[in-house]
């Protein structure tokens, strides 16, 4: 039953071998709105019109109109992987010393056919015309234009409180089961849908920033925070008669992460958002989103200790061990433990780890933060209690765990698992240094999956199954299905569930992405993500029988991607 990654057509494969140094694999850049690179890329929230054309010699001629058009395409489709300044991260660097050496024919061929490592085939997929490919090849041979900064005054200009804290209810005024409510990203609509987990009905659709990347719930379970790729943060009060956006702010030009304070005594006091541009994070008031403290992430990389001008903020999680946020700084390979007890004397522990840090989650004990350094093919383990580096573990190619999956291996005890963008394996890492010291912080088991291109792996304490998507695999049969493993018999073959077929949507890419359990752990939901002009759906599977339970269809479900059960998200259950 095990299948390998389907390769591209022979010419594309030959091109990829010749230019392996420029391969790019999209990693969602945080979690939740996946399938970008193979589908609609990794859009930036940067307003391309505000970024000026540099004057230079030695680059191919471009008209102002061509440069402006190429700049917009780059920010929409390429910056998420290669960086605004093209220094590379999930994708390889595209600096002019590299691109000019490669030359026009080389670049055009690469853009047209992509590579098996994850670089989209922009030409053969029809997403870019021949003229646009020629224009983009010339564009990346020019020095990258630099976007403007975004400071406190800029943030305050965008900050709005629609309902003041004193005017909000003191108790829940609706009868929604908030513990089994799902926040679902409607990517291209710039919205989220709140869906009741029992009735499977849409409760409300709310306008948000573009392509919401993640949803996070406050420690109290009252406030829902969402952040778009355009760095807009919306704060939604779930206690009002209808869930309502009560505050909003734009914290930069491009972003992926938001979180709230959860340490005892500081519940709901603060929120934090990290940005891709400018490279920084901001701590905000947890009830109003007023920006309080901005910290830059620019600095030296691990290892070579070279200055990096664009170290973007990837995942952020809230520690339960100390009044701290744990902040992944992607390009420098550093994890920051940011203490919020005194914002006037901000205390930060900076831990050198591995590049390029991306997404991750907690082990089952809630003590160890497990996070992917995806271009180093490693998992970094941070001890949140002792506030130091516990381990760095080699895994498969380009790990992309989402928040990962915690379960008990019948032979090796408690493990945390990640799937991979770059190969078909699933790595199981021992996480019990007291009960299973010989297995702790090592890969105790490697499972074979359907193929590369996985974005998320998921299980639940009440489930006997582990689900692995393969949304970015070039084989439609693989990208439209999921593999399911039996926790009690991991050596057995996985079972394939034809999720997209069950949705019965007709034409379109129909990539299946991000398993998400309900609160009880007896259902798992999948997004069937079609293009904006075609129908999408959410498929609900009975976890006990692995049979279809329901299909949620609604014309308002425009390009659904990330789904977040509020109880599981609030309590870090995965």
How far is it, in rounded angstroms, from Cα 142 to Cα 135?
A: 11
- Choose, from 142, 213, 308, 400, the residue flagged as catalytic: 400
CA nearest neighbour of 469 among 568, 539, 411: 539
- Whether 235 is a known active-site residue: answer no
- Whether 400 is a known active-site residue: answer yes
- Whether 320 is a known active-site residue: answer no
- Whether 213 is a known active-site residue: answer no
- Choose, from 78, 135, 284, 370, the residue flagged as catalytic: 78
Residue reference for tokens 């090849």: 137
- Whether 1 is a known active-site residue: answer no
> What's the length of the chain?
574
How far is it, in rounded angstroms, from Cα 70 to Cα 435?
A: 56
Phi, psi (rounded to 5 degrees) for 103: 90, 165
Long-range contacts of 173-177 (CB under 8 A, 24+ apart): 173/239, 173/240, 173/241, 174/238, 174/239, 174/240, 174/241, 174/242, 174/243, 176/203, 176/238, 176/243
Residue 412, CA atoms < 13 Å, CB-side half-sphere: 24
- Whether 465 is a known active-site residue: answer no
Residue reference for tokens 């003229």: 131
Is residue 293 within 8 A of residue 282, CB to CB? The reply is yes
- Choose, from 81, 135, 155, 284, the residue flagged as catalytic: 81
What CA–CA distances, in Å, run from 319 to 179, 268, 364?
Answer: 21, 13, 14
- Choose, from 142, 213, 308, 358, the residue flagged as catalytic: 358
- Choose, from 119, 135, 136, 235, the residue flagged as catalytic: 119
CA nearest neighbour of 147 among 355, 309, 257, 315: 309
What CA–CA distances, in Å, run from 497 to 42, 102, 356, 425, 548?
Answer: 27, 43, 32, 18, 9
- In sequence order, which residues have a C-beta less than 8 Å from that of residue 420 and are 6 or more positions away? 395, 396, 397, 398, 399, 400, 426, 427, 452, 454
Question: What residues act catalytically?
Answer: 78, 81-82, 119, 358, 400
């Amino acid at each position: 039953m095990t299948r390998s990654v389907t390769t591209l057509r022979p010419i594309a494969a030959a091109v990829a071998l010749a230019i392996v140094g420029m391969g790019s694999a999209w990693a969602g850049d945080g979690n939740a709105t996946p399938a970008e690179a193979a589908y609609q890329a990794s859009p930036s929230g940067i307003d391309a019109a505000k970024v000026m054309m540099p004057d230079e010699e030695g680059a191919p001629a471009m008209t102002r109109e061509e440069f402006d058009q190429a700049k917009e395409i780059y920010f929409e489709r390429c910056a998420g992987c290669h960086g605004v300044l093209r220094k590379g991260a999930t994708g390889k660097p595209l600096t002019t010393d590299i691109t000019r050496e490669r030359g026009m024919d080389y670049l055009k061929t690469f853009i047209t056919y992509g590579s098996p490592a994850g670089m989209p085939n922009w030409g053969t997929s029809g997403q870019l015309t021949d003229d646009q490919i020629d224009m983009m090849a010339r564009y990346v041979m020019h020095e990258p234009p630099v976007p403007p900064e975004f400071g406190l005054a800029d943030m305050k200009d965008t900050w709005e409180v629609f309902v003041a804290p004193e005017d909000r209810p003191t108790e829940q005024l609706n009868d929604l089961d908030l513990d089994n409510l799902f926040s679902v990203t409607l990517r291209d609509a710039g919205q989220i849908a709140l869906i009741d987990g029992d009735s499977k009905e849409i409760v409300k659709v709310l306008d948000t920033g573009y392509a919401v990347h993640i949803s996070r719930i406050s420690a109290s379970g009252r406030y829902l925070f969402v952040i778009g790729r355009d760095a807009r943060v919306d704060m939604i009060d779930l206690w009002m008669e209808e869930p309502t956006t009560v505050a909003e702010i734009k914290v930069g030009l491009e972003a992926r992460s938001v979180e709230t304070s959860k340490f005892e005594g500081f519940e709901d006091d603060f929120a934090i958002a990290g940005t891709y541009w400018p490279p920084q994070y901001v701590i905000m008031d947890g009830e109003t989103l007023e920006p309080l403290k901005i910290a830059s992430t620019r600095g030296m990389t691990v290892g070579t200790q070279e200055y990096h001008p664009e170290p973007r903020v990837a995942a952020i999680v809230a520690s339960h061990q100390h009044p701290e946020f744990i902040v992944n700084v992607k390009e420098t390979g550093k994890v920051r433990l940011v203490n919020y007890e005194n914002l006037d004397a901000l205390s930060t522990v900076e831990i050198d780890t591995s590049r390029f840090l991306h997404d991750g989650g907690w082990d089952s004990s809630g003590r160890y933060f497990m996070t992917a350094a995806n271009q180093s093919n490693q998992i970094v383990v941070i001890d949140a209690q002792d506030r130091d580096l516990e381990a760095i573990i080699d895994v498969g190619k380009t790990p992309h765990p989402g928040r990962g999956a915690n379960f008990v291996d019948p032979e090796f005890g408690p493990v945390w698992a990640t799937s991979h963008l770059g190969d078909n394996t699933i790595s199981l890492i021992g996480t019990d240094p007291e009960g299973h010291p010989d297995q702790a912080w090592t890969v105790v088991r490697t499972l074979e999956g359907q193929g590369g291109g996985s974005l998320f792996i998921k299980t639940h304490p009440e489930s006997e199954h582990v689900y692995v998507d393969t949304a970015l695999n070039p084989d439609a049969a693989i990208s439209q299905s999921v593999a399911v493993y039996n926790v009690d018999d991991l050596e057995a073959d996985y079972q394939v569930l034809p999720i997209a077929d069950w949705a019965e949507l007709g034409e379109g890419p129909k990539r299946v992405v991000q398993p998400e359990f309900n609160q009880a752990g007896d259902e798992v939901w999948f997004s069937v993500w079609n293009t904006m002009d075609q129908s999408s759906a959410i498929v609900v599977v009975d976890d006990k029988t692995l049979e279809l339970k329901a299909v949620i269809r609604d014309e308002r479900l425009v390009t659904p991607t990330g789904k977040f059960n509020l109880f599981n998200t609030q309590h870090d259950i995965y």
